[in-house]
Amino acid sequence: MADCIFCKIIARQVPSEIIYEDDLTVAFKDVNPQAPTHLLIVPKKHIAGLSACGADDTALLGHMQMVAVAVAEKAGVASGYRLVTNNGRAAGQSVDHLHYHLLGGRCMQWPPG
């Protein structure tokens, strides 16, 4: 997608601190971190968000979660982290390219705001 910031990061057209990459995903540091560790796990395939996924994306979604486990380990937060996706404006989604936030390195509150 020409105007998608995450597609541009994936294509290396916009700089980012990429900490993991495989055939299907990239993970990079959030530019506006909300925790000492704040990573984004993003599919290379442009999908607008979770509710835009189809049945053929099921394996990709599972893969993204397993990538989250691996990058949490790599980032040193495996003992406790939060994995979340904001779906839709009302939930706080600001970038219309599916992504999981991986937050760690501090105590988390519940319920989230």
Please list the active-site residues: 99
Judged by CB, which is closer to ligand AMP: 3, or 55? 3
What mask of x and - would describe binding to ligand AMP in positions 33 to 52, judged by CB under 6 A? -------x------------
Amino acid residing at 82: R
Residues 6 or more apart whose Cβ sits within 8 Å of residue 52: 98
Residue 104 CB-density burial (10 A; 0-12 exposed, 13-18 middle, 19+ buried)? buried
Contacts of ligand AMP in 62-101 (CB under 6 A): 86, 92-95
Q: Catalog residues that contact ligand AMP under the rule CB under 6 A.
A: 5, 14, 16, 30-32, 40, 86, 92-95
